[in-house]
Amino acid sequence: MAQTAVVERTPRTESVVSPAATISGGSRITFDNVSVAYGALTVLESLNLTVNPGEIVALIGPSGSGKTTALRAVAGFVRPSAGRILIGDRDVTYLAPYDRQIGMVVQNYALFPHMRVEENVAFGLRAHGAGEEVIRNRVPECLAIVGMSAYAKRYPRELSGGQQQRVAIARALAPKPQVLLLDEPLSALDAQIRRSMLDELAKLHRDLPNLTVLYVTHDQSEALTLANHIGIMRDGRLKAFGESQSLFRHPPNRFAAEFLGRANLLPVTDLRPDGGQMARVRFGQAMLSARNHHGIPADKECLLCIRPHDFRFSRAAEEPNSISGTVLSVQWQGDVQNITLNIGGEEARMTSAPMANPPRIGETIAVHFNPAEVTLVPEDAGRG
């Protein structure tokens, strides 16, 4: 299903036209130094971000971080106090929402309760002036994409939450937008349906590779599963942005490391280059090796960022990159074992496969890590 056209605006036409006719420069979303303020309160500050055509970019962050404001600014529901927003090459900063040619899915689905499923899906097509024949063809097509063909005649109140969200997605896709905005689309669903919807969204994007998606969520697992790039926001600012795996592996600051994957951050000193991107640092009495991905200079304070699953049990304390810690807690969670350690006065979490004889609370154990898998993070860059 190529996502290559929007319905033309001329009423009673049976054809669709290429969006290239209306959106030049493809479906790229560009935030050009965008700020949003309500009176004296700035909720989004100087956001510079590009979502390339066909990409999924997830904005994550705690409540009040400005991620939803950024999405609403693209949709046209929030007017920037400074900067520009472009869709393709078109400056849409002051364009009305109905002229932006976007699709949007929100947390509570917002289906029109007095319309049947098929009427909900046809709404955008009618609003764009599509003819009846286009609607007759396109509505079943969209319902088939989300697996809701059998529910066309139902009212939203007769559907489950997951089904309603599928209809909301079909409705957003019907006018063939090149940009899809997803505002916490899975938050209202229970965990099991959320996982299944996540798989379906990933499949949807594989089927519609030209669709540019801006995805706002507070759930890092959704972002990591779906997004090509992730932006981490805090207090109205973009604190980190990068390719998903790279951002997870090499967070550029403390906040990114803590928010995305809840990394262990151990304060280290005495940073010395060790060839290539590697460096040696001191943690207590131990000298440890780690990747200095961000090229932190030797005189700067930094943190050793170790993901819980990067810790391994050491057979001997002399093993390279080995550190000792006291077991504070052990939690079995089915397929994983969570262990909390006190390492040199710092609390650290590690996960492992379930063990028949896990370490006991109070026991001192040695753990090590692969230096290529852990990274150094500048200490001060992420504060404040």
CA 332 to chain centroid: 28
Q: Residue 162, CB half-sphere, CA atoms under 13 Å: how many? A: 14
Q: Is 32 exposed, middle or buried (0-12, 13-18, 19+ CB in 10 A)?
A: middle
Q: What separation, in Å, do the N-terminal and C-terminal C-alpha atoms of the chain show?
A: 46
Residue range at the interface with another protein (CB under 8 A); choices 19-27, 55-63, 93-101, 279-287: 93-101
Residue in 54, 61, 66, 76 binding another protein, rule: CB under 8 A: 76
The H or E element containing residue 207 is helix 191-207
Whole-number minimum distance, CB 220 to another protein, in Å?
24
Whole-number minimum distance, CB 226 to another protein, in Å?
20
Q: Which is nearer to another protein, 108 or 342 (CB)?
A: 108
Whole-number minimum distance, CB 239 to another protein, in Å?
27
Q: Which is nearer to another protein, 75 or 303 (CB)?
A: 75
- Other Cβ atoms less than 10 A from the Cβ of 113: the count is 9
Q: Per-residue contact track with another protein, 172 to 211, x per CB under 8 A? A: x--x-----x------------------------------
Whole-number minimum distance, CB 133 to another protein, in Å?
18
Q: Which of residues 95-154 bind another protein (CB under 8 A)?
A: 96-108, 110, 112-114, 123-124, 127-128
- Other Cβ atoms less than 10 A from the Cβ of 342: the count is 14
Whole-number minimum distance, CB 175 to another protein, in Å?
6
Whole-number minimum distance, CB 165 to another protein, in Å?
13
Q: Which is nearer to another protein, 121 or 367 (CB)?
A: 121
Q: Which is nearer to another protein, 31 or 123 (CB)?
A: 123
Q: Which is nearer to another protein, 212 or 321 (CB)?
A: 212
Q: Report DSSP letters for 217-274, one per residue.
A: ES-HHHHHHH-SEEEEEETTEEEEEEEHHHHHHS-SSHHHHHHTT--EEEEEEEEEE-
The H or E element containing residue 41 is strand 41-51
Question: Can you say whether residue 349 is alpha, beta or left, with left for phi > 0 and alpha for psi between -120 and 50 degrees?
Answer: beta
- The answer to whether the beta carbons of residues 230 and 221 sit under 8 Å apart is no
Instruction: Note the residues at the interface with another protein (CB under 8 A).
Output: 75-77, 96-108, 110, 112-114, 123-124, 127-128, 168, 171-172, 175, 181
